Amino acid sequence: MIRVSKSATGRLIDIHGWTAVLFGLALYVVVLTGALAVFSHEIGAWSVGGHGIDDALAGPLDHRLSELTREVPEKYHEELTVSQNAAGYLVAFFHTHEAQAGGGLPEDVGVRFVIDPANMQVVSREEGFADDLPDVSSSFLHDFLVDLHVRLYTPDPVGLYLTGLLGLILLVSAVSGFILHRHLIMDMFLSPRQKLRELRARDRHTLAGTWSLLFAVIVAFTGAFFSFATTLGLPVIAMTAFEGDQQKAIEVVIGVPEEEDPTPASFIGLEPVIRHVQTSEAAGSLPVFVLVEHMGRADARITTFHDPSDGALFTGSHVYSGVDGSYRGEKPALGKSPSLGSDLVSLMGVLHFGLFAGFMSKVIWLALGLATCYLTYSGLNLWCIRREKSTGWRLMSRLNDATAYGTAFALTVASAGFLLSYGRVPEKVVAWTLNGFVSGVIVSLVLALLLPSGWRTQQMFQRVLGLSLIALPVLRLAMSPGPFAVHGLDLTLLISGLLSLIAARRSGADRLRATERVIRQEVRHG
């Protein structure tokens, strides 16, 4: 393919291998949680036994919202966001932007209400900086999964730097693997050769790498962009082009109107706007997120955000006057008028999230994510097989198994923790979910350290994972019955669990046959 000198090849091999050894396990966790996060909304709905009201934003909002507006301090009227969380509850956040006591950049601070759309009763009221507000318990499983993917459940900006670095590592691995694999086209359809273990592992890894190269590059690139854009890029750009004023830089990029008009004016409310935006004149669909700026002023604005309409790639947003509800037209994702930059950023989202065409794109993105997991796992596995004479690398091999199966297992235990606590002790949901995850991790590590490396460890992990996957729908049904969509996920978990158990049986049988073959050969040769 690409001709590089012998010494450069050596360097690329070192880079491809050692970055995997150092970062491969963390990368696996980020990629696996990312693959599952494609269905995070469904997982969130499943975790609470489903919710009947998918279109809460189309319901009667204004009466309760105006009551809440009167109740919160007036400075928080600057911005209001309303959306429905994964558990179906409405989340309304009245806020303004202030720097924390220690200084630093302005952050969102205000009052957050969680509202039950069935009767518009306030479930919880919290006040403070957005980052310090307690987690919303009803959507915690969803939030935890997303947080694990986006920032490995570490505080900003460290977590985002970490995942950004992992994105760059994946990019480097994919490109170096592409340059190193000299027979990419020739071996493109080569079935993995079964005879020798090392050759089989190599063929499997290169085949997976060949076919998922494009996606690996795409998610690595877009993921690195999402991690670094706000934590590294924006501060640097603000320093260079705005003399360090990050708030100004953000406003210009987002496209906030410059002229302000603080004259008091009554707010029209959300219902007429949401009614209009659902007509074919505007978006033609229910918004997933609504932003109100400068409520109660003459320059009040309502912006609605929508999933892509059928056949379109990009999400849309529409702007209305907050005083008379007049339609001001569609707004690009960034800036005040359409631009290449805004389209590029939208494209980043499309390619990274895979949510642009409903179920079909989600399934494909899940499969692509799992393929990338297999790529990191099989690569590290190959590296360890080649060095299995050394104790250290055998330990690495076990850690690889522990991470590959253990992350999935720990997520099932975390889900179990959520299911067990949500119905009975909702105030302890966060602790139960996190403890579930941590105990899953500990069990996996103990299993990996106690068992010898190799197929027995894998078999044990496949059994444990299979059983825990099967236990989840049973537990979920025991906690609360749910509608059909929820049973879809139940069924998926059940099938995945059974597949894992079948894999465990097969790896045992394979191994038995291989041992028999060796014994026969030894007998024959005396």
Partner 1 sequence: MAVSHRKVTGNRFRYLYSLRFWLATFVTLLLSVTLMASMSLWLPPGAAGINHLVIPLVIFPLIWAVCFFYAVLETHVIRALCVMLSLLLLNGGLVAASVMGALS
Partner 2 sequence: MVEWLASAALLMSLVGFSYLKFTDPRTRRVARLPAFTGSRRAGLAWGLALLPGPVLLMTGQGAAFVIWLGGAPMLGWCIAALPPVAYRSK
Residues that bind partner 1 (CB under 8 A): 4-5, 7-8, 10-15, 18, 167-168, 171-172, 175, 220-221, 224-225, 228-229, 232-234, 236-237, 239-241, 243-244, 249, 252-253, 255, 332, 334-342, 344-345, 348, 386-387
Residue 59's binding partner out of partner 1, partner 2, none, with CB under 5 to 8 Å set by partner kind: none
Q: Quote the CA–CA distance of 355 and 313 in Å, as a whole number.
A: 9
Q: Binds 220, which of partner 1, partner 2, none (CB < 5 to 8 A, cut-off by type)?
A: partner 1
Angstrom distance (rounded) from CA 473 to CA 434: 20
Q: Which does 467 bind (CB under 5 to 8 A by kind): partner 2, partner 1, none?
A: none
Of 207, 429, 441, 464, the one binding partner 2 (CB under 8 A) is 207
- Taking CB under 8 A as the criterion, the residue among 191, 263, 280, 337 binding partner 2 is 191
Q: Which is nearer to partner 1, 4 or 123 (CB)?
A: 4
Strand order across the 289-293 sheet = 121-129, 103-116, 90-100, 79-84, 289-293, 301-306, 316-321, 327-331
Cα 387 from Cα 421, distance rounded (Å)? 45
Count of residues in contact with partner 2, rule CB under 8 A: 36
Give 15: exposed, middle or buried? Use CB within 10 Å, 0-12, 13-18, 19+: middle
How is residue 144 written in tokens? Answer: 């935890």
Q: Which of 208, 345, 479, 486 binds partner 2 (CB under 8 A)?
A: 208
Which one of 94, 113, 178, 215 is in contact with partner 2 (CB under 8 A)? Answer: 215
DSSP symbol at 170: H
239's contact among partner 2, partner 1, none, with CB below 5 to 8 A by partner kind, is: partner 1
Report the DSSP beta bridge partners of residue 379: none
Q: Does 340 bind partner 2 (CB under 8 A)?
A: no
509 counts as binding partner 2 under rule CB under 8 A: no
Residue 357 contact, options partner 2, partner 1, none, Cβ 5-8 Å cut-off depending on partner type? partner 2
- Direct distance between the N- and C-terminal alpha carbons of the chain, in angstroms, rounded to an integer: 47
Q: Which is nearer to partner 1, 168 or 291 (CB)?
A: 168
**Residue 232 carries which DSSP code?**
I
Binding at 11: pick from partner 1, partner 2, none (beta carbon under 5-8 Å per type): partner 1
Binding partner at 67 among partner 1, partner 2, none, C-beta below 5 to 8 Å by kind: none
Find how far residue 427's CA is from the centre of its chain.
25
Instruction: Give the one residue of 311, 329, 452, 526 binding partner 2; rule: CB under 8 A.
Output: 311
Distance CA 366, CA 39 (A): 8
Q: Side chain identity at 430, as an amino acid letter?
A: V
Distance, CA of 308 to CA of 440 (rounded, Å): 37
Residues 367-426 that bind partner 2 (CB under 8 A): 367-368, 371
Please give the angle made by the CA atoms of 338, 343 and 345, to the nearest 5 degrees.
Answer: 130
Residue 291 binding partner per list partner 2, partner 1, none, with a CB distance cut-off of 5 to 8 Å that depends on partner kind: none
Which residues in 128-141 are b (16+ Cβ under 10 Å) and which e? eeeeebeebbbbbb
Collapsing DSSP to helix, strand or coil, 56 comes out as: helix
- The residues that touch partner 2, with contacts defined as CB under 8 A, are 186-194, 204, 207-208, 210-215, 308, 310-313, 350-351, 354, 356-358, 360-361, 364-365, 367-368, 371
